[in-house]
Structure 1
Amino acid sequence: MIKFRGIVWSVHPLFVIVMLLSAAAGRFAELITLFILVFVHELGHVVAARSFGWHIREVKLLPFGGVAETEEAGGMPTREEAIVALAGPLQNVWMAALAWGIGQMGIGDPAWANELVEANMLIALFNMIPIHPLDGGKLFQCLLCRLMTYHLALAWTIRISMALSLLLAISAFIQQLWPGGGIQLNVLTIAIFLLATNWTQRRHMPFLFIRFLMNRERYARKHMNRGASAAPIIVRPETALHSVLKYFRRDAVHLVYVTTARGELLGILPENELLHGFFASANPNRPVAELII
């Protein structure tokens, strides 16, 4: 574990297992190469995130990339998160192009250059699979956030990620159908890790949603400084406060219109008043009408 410029860099236990297996097999050169490729991949994420002013607490390196823990998780615009997610695979693209160019010019060992190209493209393409927390999973969640509320997008990201992780685990056994084939232990190990990660995300979903709500003030401030319009939410006065918050969208600041069944307007609440009422009250089921003065 190393701390550099306020960011804690650590190696995930899964990567440690891969490193030990590579060392036992005497594949030191491949191990060092993989570490460098993964580090540069994750460095791309860090640089992109820092350019948007994100605060990164820790980066955990994995065999296929890494996981960055940020204070702004779920609270920044989807455009920013999409750019940060793409910044990692793009590092592998330019490194693959550089290795290909070196191979074409005959500099060094052509076989090594080809292996470097394949390794970079494998890392880049694998990371684009729409399974959270892979980069493709983050991009998929950004797309869902454009189409639905954050709470729904979070739920569907976890469900689809778990389903695809299970399919990835099943694919590890496909080679057994052919003579001489065997189980792809590397694929199976990563699939189990992704499945376990999303299972944990599913259990922690209430906490993840609360974290999203806690970051709303920061996003709303940036949104309103640009003079952007607010998105309306229309609810009945008896609607529970926590239910109203589930209508929040990631890329919008809301005004909540409280109306009767006959369409009579009882009041208009900015989202910060709902958030204050939610966090200041011990009863998340209190009706939203109680916030109207």
Structure 2
Amino acid sequence: MLTRLNCIMRKKNIIHIHPLFAIMILLAIPSGFVIQALMLFGIVLLHEFGHVIVAKKYGYEIDKITLLPFGGMAELKDQSIGFHPRRESSIAIAGPAVNILLIPIGYIFTRSPLFSSYWNSFFLINFWIFMFNMLPALPLDGGRIIRAIRAREIGYEHATREAYQMAIILSVLLFCFSVITFVVGKPHLGAFMLAIFLFVGALTGRKKVRLETMQFLRNKHQNYPVTNSITSLAVSASASVRDAALRCSPDRYMLFYVLGDTGEIMGMIDESEIATAVFRGDWMKSMEELLKELVR
């Protein structure tokens, strides 16, 4: 593990501090919370190294590590990690797992009279970083775990949009909470910054979802064979190719049974045929039209 961390640290400009984190550190100096700020920096760095170690185990190269006050973002050179639910969930849970290991250490030492206040801060920082990162919203770790689970059920794009929608809802709730704390005279800067981060991240991410879906379909059908896990789904003849494409899952091969107006089976279209139609631009073509083309 130490060898992997040394290799990462030797890379130039791989670790970046987000402006929000830089502002928090600067505010900590006149406020007398320098030790807590340095503690937060170290804990966030360890959190990110948890992600990095598991990512390296899967063979991914790390492009950049951005440190935030409530966690961070370890960006991979291979952007297809979301297309592999098991890998994405394993890498996502690794960061919070580091905090889980550190929480009892902090709790035990809070009982000690030696530097008990600092150990109390150590415990609380780990606890809140864990809680924030497990929120079920992209781009947080909890959102990646939820997407990995939901993608198998409702398709990659639907699961991604769902996680971003949750981010927007949570950002509004956190913003309202931060306003209330300001009004009562106990402002919570962390909640405000997380609200802004989630809202901006969700709006930015949603703009890229359709492109990611195209990349997902291309990546899946170029690099991975048909799996043993095959799922069949009945769709209306009037449904579009787009509707079918959005139901494609990362680790399941889809078979679409096209149903007529009376419920009779008109035919079957497999996932590769859907992907081919998508790549030639037939997003809005009906399943009935595509079926007729295929049986000619």
Give TM-score scaled by structure 2 length: 0.81
RMSD: 3.0
Query: Displacement, 1:44?
Result: 0.7
Contact 1:172 1:183 in 2 (8 A): yes
Aligned counterparts of 1:120 and 1:75: Cα–Cα separation in 2: 30
Does the C-alpha gap of structure 1 residues 72 and 3 become closer, same or farther in structure 2, counting only changes over 3 Å? farther
Does the C-alpha gap of structure 1 residues 7 and 242 become closer, same or farther in structure 2, counting only changes over 3 Å? farther
Contact 1:220 1:253 in 2 (8 A): no
Structure 1 residues 167-207: Cα deviation after superposition (integer angstroms, max 9, x where no partner): 000001223554xx143333212212211211222233322
Aligned counterparts of 1:231 and 1:134: Cα–Cα separation in 2: 29
Partner of 1:11: 17
Aligned counterparts of 2:275 and 2:9: Cα–Cα separation in 1: 35
Partner of 1:87: 94
Report the identity percentage. 28
Structure 1 counterpart SS, 2:20: helix
Structure 1 residues 104-132: Cα deviation after superposition (integer angstroms, max 9, x where no partner): 466x4222222211111121112122232
Structure 2 counterpart SS, 1:231: strand
Query: Displacement, 1:88?
Result: 0.9
Aligned counterparts of 2:11 and 2:171: Cα–Cα separation in 1: 34
Aligned counterparts of 1:218 and 1:11: Cα–Cα separation in 2: 36
Structure 1 counterpart SS, 2:81: coil
Give the unaligned 5+ runs of structure 1. Answer: none
Aligned counterparts of 2:138 and 2:283: Cα–Cα separation in 1: 29
Q: Letter of the aligned partner of 1:150 in structure 2?
A: Y
Structure 2 counterpart SS, 1:130: coil
The answer to whether structure 1 residue 253 and structure 2 residue 253 are counterparts is yes
Does the C-alpha gap of structure 1 residues 238 and 114 become closer, same or farther in structure 2, counting only changes over 3 Å? closer
Per residue, is there more helix in 1 or in 2? 2
Structure 2 counterpart SS, 1:155: helix
Contact 1:260 1:266 in 2 (8 A): no
Give the unaligned 5+ runs of structure 2. Answer: 1-7
Aligned counterparts of 1:67 and 1:291: Cα–Cα separation in 2: 44
Q: Letter of the aligned partner of 2:81 in structure 1?
A: A
Matches within 5 A, 1:185-224: 185-217=189-221, 220-221=224-225, 224=227
Aligned counterparts of 1:68 and 1:204: Cα–Cα separation in 2: 19
The answer to whether structure 1 residue 76 and structure 2 residue 84 are counterparts is yes
Contact 1:55 1:72 in 2 (8 A): no
Matches within 5 A, 1:35-54: 35-54=41-60
The answer to whether structure 1 residue 174 and structure 2 residue 194 are counterparts is no
Aligned counterparts of 1:210 and 1:56: Cα–Cα separation in 2: 24
Contact 1:239 1:288 in 2 (8 A): no
How many residues end up aligned between the 2 structures?
282
Q: Letter of the aligned partner of 1:211 in structure 2?
A: Q
Q: 2:156 aligns with which of 131, 150, 153?
A: 150
Give TM-score scaled by structure 1 length: 0.81
Q: Letter of the aligned partner of 1:288 in structure 2?
A: L
